[in-house]
A and B are shown apart, each in its own frame.
Chain A
């Protein structure tokens, strides 16, 4: 199953400089199969039958890794829904960026987050020169893995499209060849809002937009990415 990194990137895709062997293949095969099983047997039926998730613009999802998927954030279901869109064979190469202090807190939660969701844990409280979360993300991109990022940080109220944290602009600047794909999630925040643990089935929708390439100062990049996500909010 595991591909050589050279094969996964087609000729027309710009290869990242200094691409290391895919660290995804370093993932324990058991974890990878558990994740596939979990998504095929639980997540996808849950999204299709319980939530009734509708997908618009699914054709904008890049066919090749790495890419960066950014979205508004209102619910734990956001990650579930976005990963649920990906082909099972590609799941292990997409890393949801998640707060280490929250998702690694207890043993059970750690097992869930790392085995079933393959998160890329970042330390959001103790950022030093030595442990910059951005370097972990860049390393993952260099290894051919894609990232799923909620640039507004924590889950917000309303539609969770609050102001983006500057990290994403830094990432866009440092790895300009990686396509950034905006997504907007509708109604998942009603199904499982912050502070609740029982999902209520509301019809929900994922809207994916075309990849964006923004240049300029960090502030301009940040504003451009925010606008790309918010542009999907208005679509009906």
Chain B
């Protein structure tokens, strides 16, 4: 191989840039060739990807501190979208404030690389503390619902997503150039590509509905086509990882399936809330949560495999 001299960020930047140019060109060509069909949504999505890719690379390339602040903002925004749709009670006020306060604390733990507390702060300590603050509000009606919903949101959007931060902080393995930042690029790229390819496969070949009562747009063809093609795309990207070629494809399959499950869970949440999207932050995509839902599931799975196998 001749290109390990290029940094992973630059290499992936070039790959993503090429894909963006390609998808923009394809969309424009489709618009020209099929003028009777409406490609407004597709075009909005492609344009949003340009912006998201630029913001993400800027956040990851500059400095780990910038990256962690960026990931913390993702968690904060996602938690906010979720909490806004919850039927909260006035008695939940202080507990909700503490839940949001957990975002900077969790990322501060990552910044100082205190793994032992990072991994139990939300699942154990906040699990114990938050219901106590609800007790202090002295309102028992709706207590269990509030305690569960608030902690569930913290687990998914703060604890789950913050694994991206700890992944970034992982040092280079002895004798290799692969470090946390390369692993972040790998997992985010593969999972997001899997989302995109599931959408594309579903649009092109989707016939058999997968979860009609949860997410009517998900099809077997979309799932299988998307996951398999994303796993194949991961193959040439193993320079970002310490994996063997076979391992790369198996891990990619695992995180794509986990990402799909995360998306399905969030679809069920949206159904329960009676909304189509979690917000309107990103044109064509909905809210922040609509974009990071698969990462909330895939990144912890990826992180703990890497942690167990290599660190």
Q: Which residues of A contact B (CB under 8 A)?
A: 52, 54, 187, 190, 193, 196, 198-203
| Residue B148 at the chain A interface, CB threshold 8 Å | no
| Residue from B80, B93, B97, B100 in contact with A203 in the complex, judged by beta carbons closer than 8 Å | B80
**Separation of A223 and B143 alpha carbons in the complex (Å):** 40
Nearest residue in A to B79 (C-beta to C-beta)?
Answer: A201
**Separation of A193 and B93 alpha carbons in the complex (Å):** 9
| Residue from A54, A187, A200 in contact with B97 in the complex, judged by beta carbons closer than 8 Å | A200
Contacts of A199 in B (CB 8 A): 97
**Separation of A187 and B97 alpha carbons in the complex (Å):** 15
| Residue from A52, A187, A200, A202 in contact with B77 in the complex, judged by beta carbons closer than 8 Å | A52
Nearest residue in B to A200 (C-beta to C-beta)?
Answer: B96
Question: How close is B36's CB to chain A, nearest CB, in angstroms?
Answer: 31
| Residue B84 at the chain A interface, CB threshold 8 Å | yes
Q: Which of A193, A202, A203 has the most CB of B within 10 A?
A: A203
**Separation of A26 and B88 alpha carbons in the complex (Å):** 46
10 sampled A-B residue pairs with Cβ under 8 A: A52-B77, A187-B84, A198-B93, A198-B94, A198-B97, A200-B83, A200-B96, A200-B97, A202-B83, A203-B80
**Separation of A88 and B100 alpha carbons in the complex (Å):** 30
Given contacts A198-B93, A198-B97, contact A203 B279 (CB under 8 A): yes
**Separation of A168 and B77 alpha carbons in the complex (Å):** 39
Contacts of B76 in A (CB 8 A): 201
Other A-B contacts than A200-B83, A200-B93, 14 sampled, CB-CB below 8 A, are A52-B77, A52-B80, A187-B84, A196-B94, A198-B94, A198-B97, A199-B97, A200-B96, A200-B97, A200-B100, A201-B80, A201-B100, A203-B80, A203-B84
Q: Are the CB atoms of A190 and B81 closer together than 8 Å?
A: no
**Separation of A201 and B97 alpha carbons in the complex (Å):** 8
Contacts of A200 in B (CB 8 A): 83, 93, 96-97, 100
Interchain pairs with CB closer than 8 A, number: 29
Chain B contact surface mostly: helix
Nearest residue in B to A189 (C-beta to C-beta)?
Answer: B90
Question: How close is A167's CB to chain B, nearest CB, in angstroms?
Answer: 29
**Separation of A202 and B280 alpha carbons in the complex (Å):** 14
Question: How close is A100's CB to chain B, nearest CB, in angstroms?
Answer: 28
Contacts of B81 in A (CB 8 A): 203
Nearest residue in A to B96 (C-beta to C-beta)?
Answer: A200
Q: Are the CB atoms of B88 and A190 closer together than 8 Å?
A: yes
Nearest residue in B to A157 (C-beta to C-beta)?
Answer: B90
Nearest residue in B to A202 (C-beta to C-beta)?
Answer: B84
Q: Are the CB atoms of B93 and A196 closer together than 8 Å?
A: yes
**5 nearest A-B residue pairs (beta carbon):** A203-B84, A200-B96, A198-B97, A202-B84, A201-B80
Question: How close is B111's CB to chain A, nearest CB, in angstroms?
Answer: 20
Contacts of A54 in B (CB 8 A): 280
Contacts of A187 in B (CB 8 A): 84
Interface string of B89-115 (1 = CB under 8 A from A): 010011011001000000000000000
**Separation of A202 and B77 alpha carbons in the complex (Å):** 10
**Separation of A203 and B93 alpha carbons in the complex (Å):** 15
**Separation of A196 and B137 alpha carbons in the complex (Å):** 12
**Separation of A193 and B76 alpha carbons in the complex (Å):** 21
Question: How close is B286's CB to chain A, nearest CB, in angstroms?
Answer: 13
Contacts of B280 in A (CB 8 A): 54
Contacts of A201 in B (CB 8 A): 76, 80, 83, 100
Contacts of B93 in A (CB 8 A): 193, 196, 198, 200
Question: How close is A105's CB to chain B, nearest CB, in angstroms?
Answer: 23
Question: How close is A19's CB to chain B, nearest CB, in angstroms?
Answer: 43
Nearest residue in A to B94 (C-beta to C-beta)?
Answer: A198
Question: How close is A191's CB to chain B, nearest CB, in angstroms?
Answer: 9
**Separation of A54 and B100 alpha carbons in the complex (Å):** 20
Contacts of A198 in B (CB 8 A): 93-94, 97
Question: How close is A57's CB to chain B, nearest CB, in angstroms?
Answer: 16
Nearest residue in A to B280 (C-beta to C-beta)?
Answer: A54
**Separation of A137 and B257 alpha carbons in the complex (Å):** 64
Question: How close is A236's CB to chain B, nearest CB, in angstroms?
Answer: 11
Nearest residue in B to A52 (C-beta to C-beta)?
Answer: B80
**Separation of A196 and B97 alpha carbons in the complex (Å):** 11
**Separation of A37 and B100 alpha carbons in the complex (Å):** 27
Q: Which of A52, A54, A199 has the most CB of B within 10 A?
A: A52
Question: How close is A27's CB to chain B, nearest CB, in angstroms?
Answer: 35
Q: Which of A190, A193, A199, A200 has the most CB of B within 10 A?
A: A200
**Separation of A52 and B83 alpha carbons in the complex (Å):** 13
Interface string of B269-309 (1 = CB under 8 A from A): 00000000001100000000000000000000000000000
Nearest residue in B to A201 (C-beta to C-beta)?
Answer: B80
The B47-89 residues at the A interface (CB cut-off 8 A) are 76-77, 80-81, 83-84, 88
Question: How close is A45's CB to chain B, nearest CB, in angstroms?
Answer: 13
